[in-house]
Structure 1
Amino acid sequence: MTGPAQTSLSIPPVLILSTGRCGSTMVSDLLSRHPDILSLSEFFVPLGPEAFSLRRPDGERLWKLLTTQSAGLHAMLKDGHVVDEALYPYDDPNARYGAADMPPVIAVTLPHLSDDPEALLDALEPRVRARPRMPLADQYRALFGDLAEMLGRRVWVERSGGTLMHAAKLLRMFPEARVVHVYRDGRDAAMSMSQHHNFRVLVGAIKRSRRLGLDPQRAFRADSGNPLDALVQRVVFSVLDIEKTAALPTLEDFGRFWSDLILVGLERFAGLPADRLLNVRFEDVQANPREKLDELIRFIDPSLANAAWLDEVAAIPRPARSKFQTLPEPERSALTRACAPGLERLGYPL
């Protein structure tokens, strides 16, 4: 089976969109425990700019995208900067791949689905490579359909950290998708970003670009990728000093970055009908997990309501104290000012 006909699933797909560092990883983990959900964690973002800029690839080209590290990902992994989200055991002597050559799709996505991600990768290869040329979104639908068929799932849900950066592109590719917007107090999200290497590089690169009169965040509002994006990334990472770039951003820079992403996301969500958008405040999930997770699963589709799953996952989230409250008052005030536009739009007290 090599055509898109096999990709029709019984439930429309779901995109979990967020700023990152807001609890979306936990939501993805909880959904992965549901027997009918294909929980795709960190699928799109690790693929790099070509995840959105290819037009009509054939299966061979898509397989190359899935298994070749982008310039940005390679620049970080080759120096040993593997973030906690990575699930592939690259440091196991029996592992097929190391950090510098592991395929992007096996870093998080496939280990999230299977205890034997290498076997799953091998099973996917002939299916993907045999496909004819078709629009990029149809290639993804076919791939996700393959995984759903192989694993006996009825709906796919994709979550990558920071996907509000790509909300316009994802919603253009998947106009049928429902959207779950996961968010938390931006001051706590910013503090978490400041401790995460990939976010430090990203925000540092944005800060450096602005010093040169460029605004890389303009791309966040674009609804399609540019074929030149991959070339630009290769050039940038060939000269970028990653350690110095990661050291550039201040806590307020992360706060402004978080707020900008929230505003971009809310702008995009304004056109969605109410039955296609669910806003999930992470603090509410921590405080009342059973109610919020039941609401989430019924939003995806009422037929997915599952008492055994709900009993299991409702016991996992736990309330946590807001860390930004522990900052000295001057730092707390500065961070609040940086986050203020996004906080106000989401209804958080300043």
Structure 2
Amino acid sequence: MTERRIAGEPRFIVGTGRCGSTILSKMIDRHPGVAVLSEFMISLDFYGKFGERPVSGDELERLLDCGLESTGEMKKIVTHLATPEITFDAAAAPAPVDASHYRDGVLPDLVLLPLGPLFDDPPKVFDEILAFARRQPTRLLSEQYEALFGWVTQRAGKTIWIERSGGSIASLPELVELFPRGRFLHLHRDPLDVALSMRTHNHFRLRAFKQYGLETADGIRWSDLDERDLNNEQPMSPRLRAVFDHPVPLECFLRDWSESTLRGMRAVKQLAPEQYGEIRFEDLMADPEAALRRIVAFFALPEEPGWIDEACAMLRSGQAAHAEPDAEQRALLDRYCHAANVLLDRVPPVELYR
């Protein structure tokens, strides 16, 4: 592999789920020097991926090859979820891919999510990543990540990496602990638009069903599902179908947006002004060229011709749909989202006293 210099400090895009960071990632990926590691952190072992500590190469491999320890039981029903962020198509892979050959009998999230946009053969690169991890000496977890991200970037033929995982604003305190000199761009979107988008997204709807202890009209809870339900067999079981079809109240998604945002914003005070930036999804959609130039300046990306025009052309009409709240939705926004909206300067603080 040709040696390339991996440039600059750690760079991250953070935000809630459904904030628009996926399309932003695809746009920035048009930059010829940038490898966007999309959903990389979310693909790692949920319980072990954070917390600065010495980590051996073998432990790093376990964090990467983590089976169900990344997104949990959702991995068992990935076909039913039909998650649009999954770009890997096993049927189109250069070589046969059998999930049973991997840990816990499921395809690794690294294969399903971040490696697909970067490489033609994600399973092959996944094996190379594990081999790279095993060769690493014991060192701090942050140093392992920087070496790993640098290797992936070089393998992709790029010189700069930007990590972007959906919902990562909630993990900003942990990211800042690991990468205190990093730059963090916070993309945020109107909470009602986020909630309405989550309500139509299988993964977020089922996650909320589980997280908030909901039950179907027949009294089925997530904890009632077992191996007869949590599989990719067609058709899905009647109990899983009942969970899929159960409506999730809008306030669950508004709470998720608010709690994630407030948790993440606690870490901002630890960062210097040049390390933290914000951009609204609405501004990205209204004037994508101006927004991308702001992002280039914030991340100190090298100037390259043509890519911004290509990136702007990726946007489609209707992608910026905005819902005006009715009276009931306004009450929910006031109840669950006001504090976070004030922090993001989406509503004036004076409204607290109206």
What is the CA-CA distance between 1:174 and the residue it aligns to? 0.9
CA contact (8 A) 2:37 2:161 kept: yes
CA contact (8 A) 2:4 2:159 kept: no
Match of 1:102 among 107, 118, 130: 107
CA contact (8 A) 2:183 2:275 kept: yes
Match of 2:211 among 201, 206, 209: 206
> 1:268 corresponds to which residue?
267
Separation in 2, partners of 1:272, 1:208: 36
SS at match of 2:161: strand
> 2:189 corresponds to which residue?
184
> 1:12 corresponds to which residue?
9
> 1:124–1:103: structure 2 CA closer, same or farther, 3 Å change rule?
same
What is the CA-CA distance between 1:306 and the residue it aligns to? 1.8
The superposition leaves residues 195-232 of structure 1 with CA deviations (integer Å, 9 ceiling, x where unpaired) of 223323433343239xxxxxxxxxxxxxxxxxxxxxxx
1:158 matches 2:155: no
CA contact (8 A) 1:205 1:245 kept: no
TM-score of the pair, normalised by structure 1: 0.80
> 2:74 corresponds to which residue?
76
Match of 1:312 among 310, 313, 322: 310
What is the CA-CA distance between 1:44 and the residue it aligns to? 1.0
1:88 matches 2:110: no
> 2:122 corresponds to which residue?
117
Separation in 1, partners of 2:339, 2:96: 46
Separation in 2, partners of 1:25, 1:97: 27
Percentage of matched positions with identical amino acids: 30
> 1:63 corresponds to which residue?
61
> 1:312–1:260: structure 2 CA closer, same or farther, 3 Å change rule?
same
Separation in 2, partners of 1:55, 1:129: 17
Match of 1:141 among 139, 146, 153: 146
The superposition leaves residues 132-151 of structure 1 with CA deviations (integer Å, 9 ceiling, x where unpaired) of 22222221111112112222
> 1:92–1:311: structure 2 CA closer, same or farther, 3 Å change rule?
closer
SS at match of 1:190: helix
Separation in 2, partners of 1:193, 1:50: 27
In the alignment, residue 203 of structure 2 is paired with which amino acid?
N
Separation in 2, partners of 1:322, 1:331: 20
Separation in 2, partners of 1:64, 1:82: 27
> 2:337 corresponds to which residue?
339
TM-score of the pair, normalised by structure 2: 0.79
What is the CA-CA distance between 1:46 and the residue it aligns to? 2.5
> 1:287 corresponds to which residue?
286
> 1:193–1:342: structure 2 CA closer, same or farther, 3 Å change rule?
same
Instruction: Say which is worse superposed, 248-257 or 276-285, in terms of deviation.
Output: 248-257
CA contact (8 A) 1:19 1:161 kept: yes
CA contact (8 A) 1:287 1:318 kept: no
Match of 1:170 among 166, 175, 200: 175
Q: Which runs of 5+ in 2 are unaligned?
A: 215-221, 231-239
SS at match of 2:139: coil
CA contact (8 A) 2:55 2:138 kept: yes
What is the CA-CA distance between 1:307 and the residue it aligns to? 2.5
What is the CA-CA distance between 1:287 and the residue it aligns to? 0.4
> 1:17–1:347: structure 2 CA closer, same or farther, 3 Å change rule?
same
Separation in 2, partners of 1:95, 1:36: 31
> 2:237 corresponds to which residue?
none
Separation in 2, partners of 1:104, 1:54: 23
Match of 2:35 among 34, 38, 61: 38
Instruction: Say which is worse superposed, 79-88 or 34-43, in terms of deviation.
Output: 79-88
> 2:295 corresponds to which residue?
296
CA contact (8 A) 1:90 1:98 kept: no
CA contact (8 A) 1:7 1:141 kept: no
**If each structure's helix is expressed as a fraction of its own residues, which one has the higher value?**
1
Greater C-alpha radius of gyration: 2
Match of 1:21 among 18, 23, 28: 18
Separation in 1, partners of 2:288, 2:18: 19
- How large is the Cα RMSD of the aligned pairs? 3.0
What is the CA-CA distance between 1:42 and the residue it aligns to? 0.4
CA contact (8 A) 1:42 1:109 kept: yes
